[in-house]
Structure 1
Amino acid sequence: MRVGLYPGTFDPITLGHLDIIRRSTQIVDKLVIGVAINRDKGPLFRLEERVAMIESEVAQLQESTQTEIVVHPFENLLIHCARDVGANVIVRGLRAVADFEYEYQMVGMNRALDSSVETVFLMADFKTQAIASKLVKEIARLNGDVSRFVSPAVNEKLLKKFGDR
């Protein structure tokens, strides 16, 4: 069984993330979406909110692809998380050359820690290449329209989050 781990903070989950998730289901039998608990990043959404958003967003995809999709929060090393969930493949999305430089270093370190876990890169679709959670949050914070970058449900959560401030 091919088990893939797609890690990220998903703060919030975007259409770019969903594209990578959808495409990942074509190459693995089970996909674990690893939601990083990264206190240094100071996420906008609490862990529970991010997990709930992801579960809601992937529910229909799981049904249509027949791929098991599990959301798994983690705070340890990525390679340890891969071991914890039985993943033999780490899935990473690439938007630009700058992403590759960082990811290239991560692959080298992860392979040094555990060479049995392979990393697979999926290039972002040209329609979602510019989407970054950080930019989505900034646009939403400044009352910009992010409906082209996130699902309607996530857009509503962003509006509520920034409306409460």
Structure 2
Amino acid sequence: MIRTALYAGSFDPVTNGHLDVVRQAGRLSQRLVLAIGVHPGKAPLFSADERAELLRDTCGPLAKAEGAEIEIVTFDDLAVSVARRHNASMFIRGLRDGTDLDYEMQLAGMNAAMAPEVQTVFLPASTGVRPITATLVRQIAAMGGDVSPFVPKIVAERLTARFAKP
């Protein structure tokens, strides 16, 4: 049986922190499903299709280098439902700090109650990416700051173009 991991998030935008998690998750799974959350009440910076393209371009080669195939999907329901649809045996969650741990432990507990067959695996962020959040990246880019230390080159280019002043 193929060991499948599900890594769900908004990925708006893809950051070096996401890449760090994908690299680590690729070592643990043979198939890594990146699930882009799409919620009608939220207005993301990038469309689901744009985020999928950025994930394919940035994370695809990393997962492959670690021996995992990658699949990118969107979802607008529960992560446990997505995990079941894709036969995932584990949820992948990245942790930057203790605040993340508190939230992620609650989420893991709820997911375990709903889908006990799917194990949550926490992956600690590498030192260089711990402070990176997609929210901060969006804020820096919106104010004209340089986000290149925090995101892959293609993402930095897309952010610059998105916030270019006319």
TM class, shorter-chain normalised? over 0.9
Equivalent in the alignment of 2:125:
124
**Which position in structure 1 is the counterpart of 2:50?**
49
Which AA in structure 1 matches 2:7?
Y
Corresponding position of 2:59: 58
Moved runs in structure 1, 4+ residues, more than 6 A? none
Is contact 1:9–1:38 with CA below 8 Å preserved after alignment? Answer: no
Amino acid at match of 1:52: E
* Equivalent-residue separation in structure 2 for 1:146 and 1:61 (angstroms): 21
Matched, 1:115 2:116: yes
Question: Does the 8 Å CA contact 2:19/2:62 hold for their aligned counterparts?
Answer: no
Question: Which residue in 1 is equivalent to 2:156?
Answer: 155
Instruction: Provide, for residues 45-68 of structure 1, a one-character-per-residue CA deviation record: whole Å limited to 9, x for no partner.
Output: 011110111011123224423311
Residue in structure 1 matched with residue 74 of structure 2 by the alignment:
73
**Partner Cα distance (1:29, 1:17) in 2:** 18
- The RMSD of aligned alpha carbons is 1.2
Amino acid paired to 1:9: S
**Post-superposition offset of 1:164:** 5.9
Aligned residue for 1:143? 144
Unaligned runs of 5+ in 2: none
Provide the C-alpha distance between the structure 2 equivalents of 1:40 and 1:100, rounded to a whole number of angstroms. Answer: 26
Report the counterpart of residue 31 of structure 1 in structure 2.
32
**How many corresponding residue pairs?**
165
Percent identity reads: 38
User: Residues of 2 paired with 1:116 and 1:152: CA distance?
Assistant: 38
Superimposed CA distance per residue, residues 42-93 of structure 1 (whole angstroms, 9 cap, x where no aligned partner): 2100111101110111232244233111111111101001001110100000
TM-aligned CA distance change 1:116 to 1:37, over 3 Å: same
Partners of 1:13 and 1:71 in 2: CA distance:
13
Kept in 1: contact 2:13–2:46 (CA 8 A) = yes
- Deviation digits for residues 4-62 of structure 1 (CA, Å, limit 9, x no counterpart): 00110000000010010011010111100011113334210011110111011123224
**Which whole-Å deviations, capped at 9, do the CAs of 1:99-149 have from their partners, x for residues lacking one?**
111111111111111111100000111100000000000000001110000
Please identify, of 21-30 and 58-67, the stretch whose mean Cα deviation from structure 2 is larger: 58-67
Aligned CA distance change for structure 1 residues 49 and 164 (closer, same or farther; 3 Å): farther
